[in-house]
A and B are shown apart, each in its own frame.
Chain A
């Protein structure tokens, strides 16, 4: 099938295959943006892939004081896991270790999901019976006394099972610098899409994986078809002009959020063109039989 070329960038006639996930999230506020961001960064650390981290989490957006419930600067964090139980466990652990501990922080529900999971209702016990509950407009909040004042936390937060994880773009370029330039542009473009995150470091993963391994018991291993140094010795997907491949993985609260994030990323790469950035864009899938969500690149073109 002929590949599509836009602004000199070749777009593979391929699709990204994605899976249903349980998505939740919190809005963290603090006395200033620095500490709201710090709490969010700490909480979303070691949350790149469900395989080893238990969840995938990232910062969706910063929220201005005018839009937060308590009028302080905020950061919206999204967290995805393979089951609602995992999501709850990860969220409660990360909240207790990373947000409760972060000076000045407060936590509010930010995901309108069909389920609710206990968050403040679990962390409250840190208060050793000095915690106080306040019900405001039908929502329960907890005031937990801590050394810098009070940790204020909503009792329950929303969770949706309609989330999607695994949207992706494979960005291929002549060398590391050019590929990175295009990939960074794509990440910053999809950052502005609401309800979607790119959980890997800076939104980018360089060690894309395939299913299976030559070793027993390893479920995933390096995607040798896309390793430029193996171009000659393996059944490579790369032509001679490709020297570096980077991937962006996208999780979203909705099918549409993932689609829009991929669309925004693709547009940024195409606008940059092959001289400055990437020569080719592809997408990863498993043949289309494993994941119910398929995002065809040709349908996302600008």
Chain B
């Protein structure tokens, strides 16, 4: 069955909140009702019908033909069993607080992608903005489950306050990757800059390129880790490069000893 498709008519005139457009919230609504849903974030009205041409299909499977960096909150609070595909870019907070399901973005994503994600499997084919999987201002924890894979680069503070789950950045990462991580696992296959793993409590940060991680990270030697073998196998379908990285002998830097010191940075030996 064909996916339920929203074809973009024109670039949105303002930022739009696409959180109402998830399968569970669209269920039972007619096309006319859906077209009438308000998406605008200002006093000026922008409705679904103004932006999209709707082609009905399998509601479990939403598809956006065309994206925009003004598409905020795509797949927010998505539930398990549902899928969203965006053939284009998305804006801020893609997959925000998603409980499950899959979100695939063919283009890039704005800031706070996968923020507060609880279980969704998110893939960004292009670059991601700042605070990938990070919390919004005032929140104590960032992503708390699920997985996000970014094929391109990520902005600054990726994985900020990560609580649980897997963040894979296949390209470069901006400043302060994995800052304030509580737990979880972050991969960066490109270059990472700045204070990597700053105040990391007990998360794992796996880097393709080694370096100096500051005096609060302590070299614990190179090891064959059983967990890495299992992790690599489960990750292979989502990021073969990350799986390859984990399959190598890894040097473990324990830290950040400025806090608990129970986290780690792993790099190939």
Contact = CB atoms under 8 A, between A and B. Distances in A.
A228 B264 CA distance: 66
Interface string A135-158: 111100101000001101000000
Contacts of A130: 262
Q: In terms of DSSP, what is the predominant structure of the interface of chain A?
A: strand
B226 interface: yes
Contacts of A106: 226
A149 B234 contact: no
A201 interface: no
B227 A69 contact: no
Contacts of A141: 227, 230
B226 A152 contact: yes
B233 A149 contact: no
Interface residues of B, number: 20
A276 interface: no
B145 A137 contact: no
B180 interface: no
Contacts of A288: none
A136 B234 contact: yes
Contact of B204 (A29, A71, A132, A149): A132
B96 interface: no
Contacts of A149: 223-226
Interface residues of A, number: 20
A279 to B, nearest CB: 51
B229 interface: yes
Nearest to A29: B226
Contacts, number: 48
B183 interface: yes
Contacts of B161: none
Contacts of A133: 183
B165 interface: yes
A70 interface: yes
A134 B165 contact: no
A135 B164 CA distance: 8
Interface string B173-189: 00000000001010000
A72 interface: yes
A133 B231 CA distance: 12
B164 A143 contact: no
B70 interface: no
B85 interface: no
Contacts of A29: 226
B164 A132 contact: no
A135 B262 contact: no
A134 B264 CA distance: 13
Contacts of A137: 234
Report, nearest first, the 4 A-B pairs whose CB atoms are least far apart. Answer: A152-B226, A70-B229, A70-B230, A106-B226
Interface of B: 119, 145, 164-165, 183, 185, 202, 204, 223-227, 229-231, 233-234, 262, 264
